[in-house]
Chain A
């Protein structure tokens, strides 16, 4: 039954472009665009949840790694004319390297100080993106990033990009599950739930935190590369604090540390504002208010709601 349900969902998600062109041909492009954004944000939120939900370190630096990946891929593709996959690999490596390097001093900071240190990193990265004009072109943005090519396959149409984004999301989700389920996942949770006990049991908290932080940054870098190739423009505004707020909203409303919750959160909070067509300022006011309400009233998010209804049945 469960398997059949997943299969039906999978078939539905994959066939969406055809269903859309049959049902609402005029809206197909717009809806696909929203869905591509949803998939990208869902994958990004999953990578963020690896750090926030599974090792319990409240990092606010995720936009930095997303941006580093996006800029690396954008610059490699436009200046050095690297092929798409090589550029994505370069983005993943660049983001992971920066994360590993800054992670060592940042994890010397405890709790709040870690959060502020990472927020500082995000701020510094966006200052660099704005001012290192020779490389990033600053506020003029890196433009003309080519559409992705996978060998002989050129991803030029929206449906093709939708499937690519979907494949990326599935890959990230599988990686997320693999990483958080087995022995490694148990080590992550041990570090999150009781750091001294984990340390005493031979699970080095610093090592596992750093590992989760670096892997999450690597994924964020890859997603950033995908994002840059999709928009074909990369600007410093793409990596501001408001991205952190979006990620926090998705993760905390959906349910910290839960694959299903985070996916649900991403669908709700990427698609919903588009449907409601809110102005960005009002959107942030509502997001902020909602975030405040949820962390105070129901810290488990939608996932705990789902569990409660499942338990009641």
Chain B
């Protein structure tokens, strides 16, 4: 029996691959929730929000504050984060976005990049650079199914994110606001002409996008550390997913996010851990060279 346990069918290797796949799906779910918000903003407002990763970062700190500082139970703290970020998203849309929306994309990009710089460095001043750990009951409990060990929190991330994506799709497809968002992604002026409340729809889009990022933060924070400059790389990876998935196409961005998360986990484990952050870009560049319209791309539109 010992003779056949070579590398190809080594049970440890299979368990390890399984663990990495689970890790990749967790990463993918996190990227997907951030990327979906980015794609919504891009579709509805034609705007790249460079501060989107900072929405996630701020959501994570809101969760940390609720859970560790206020001592709220996990579900309440996890809801506090999106609630805070909805308000933040609305305030952001009212102040910065309204001022830059009629301007060129150069101005939009620099303004949102500037916002991200201000947010990151204010977070350093307020919270310090020391990473915050927020272990919860579920993040230390392990489910063991015949040797396949799964942390409960990862299963929660997966289940909750699937529920969120299903809800998001229902919302965009079925509700009046969702229809208005889709219409705006096709033709903003025509929407205004036929009486769609353009400002209100844009505001709801920003609130929703901020809530998605904060929900992702509340779900994965028990697994990863929270630190002030985690937003920048996240924005970039989420944007890579948006570009690879087809510009502004929400479900394409979600699918591409899972692809990036899985590749990153596997490559980080079996190729090179140090270069795992470069993977998202290699995927993006490869996709763009092969299919410039993105993996699932059509025209712009959510």
Contact = CB atoms under 8 A, between A and B. Distances in A.
A115 interface: yes
A116 interface: yes
Contacts of A115: 48, 109
List 9 A-B pairs, minimum CB-CB distance, nearest first: A288-B117, A288-B118, A131-B274, A120-B281, A292-B114, A291-B114, A284-B121, A112-B48, A288-B114
Contacts of A130: 274
Interface in A227-244: 241-242
B114 A289 contact: yes
Given A288-B118, A289-B118, A295 B243 contact: no
Nearest to B238: A116
B107 A117 contact: no
Given A123-B233, A284-B121, A117 B110 contact: no
B13 interface: no
Given A58-B109, A112-B48, A245-B117, A281 B124 contact: yes
B84 interface: no
A136 to B, nearest CB: 12
B109 A285 contact: no
A67 to B, nearest CB: 15
A109 interface: yes
Contacts of A296: 99-100, 103, 107, 111
B281 A124 contact: yes
B243 A113 contact: yes
Interface in B104-120: 105-107, 109-111, 113-118, 120
Nearest to A138: B274
Given A116-B239, A120-B284, A299 B105 contact: no
A113 B110 contact: no
A248 interface: yes
A248 B117 CA distance: 12
B278 A127 contact: yes
Given A109-B288, A248-B110, A123 B117 contact: no
Given A112-B109, A116-B48, A284 B117 contact: yes
Nearest to B289: A105
Nearest to B232: A241
B114 A116 contact: no
A26 B88 CA distance: 50
Contacts of A248: 110, 113
Interface of A: 56, 58, 105, 108-109, 111-113, 115-117, 119-121, 123-124, 127-128, 130-131, 241-242, 245, 248, 252, 281-282, 284-285, 287-289, 291-292, 295-296, 299
Contact of B240 (A116, A127, A287, A289): A116
Contacts of A119: 236
Interface of B: 48, 96, 99-100, 103, 105-107, 109-111, 113-118, 120-122, 124-125, 232-233, 236, 239-240, 243, 247, 274-275, 277-278, 280-281, 284-285, 288-289, 292
A284 B105 CA distance: 23
B275 A285 contact: no
Given A58-B109, A113-B243, A285 B118 contact: yes
B115 A123 contact: no
B285 A117 contact: yes
Contacts of A245: 113-114, 117
Given A109-B288, A116-B48, A285 B106 contact: no
B82 to A, nearest CB: 25
Contact of B275 (A116, A127, A281, A287): A127
A81 B289 CA distance: 40
B145 to A, nearest CB: 36
26 contacts: A105-B288, A108-B288, A113-B243, A113-B247, A116-B239, A116-B243, A117-B281, A117-B288, A120-B236, A120-B240, A120-B281, A121-B281, A124-B277, A128-B275, A131-B274, A245-B114, A248-B113, A252-B110, A282-B121, A284-B120, A289-B118, A291-B113, A292-B118, A295-B110, A296-B100, A299-B107
Given A111-B105, A120-B284, A123-B281, 20 more contacts: A108-B292, A109-B288, A120-B236, A120-B240, A123-B233, A128-B275, A130-B274, A131-B274, A248-B113, A282-B121, A284-B118, A285-B118, A285-B122, A288-B114, A291-B111, A291-B114, A292-B96, A292-B111, A292-B118, A299-B107
A188 to B, nearest CB: 16
Given A113-B243, A120-B240, A295-B110, A287 B117 contact: yes
Contacts of B113: 245, 248, 291
Contacts of B105: 111-112
A45 B261 CA distance: 36
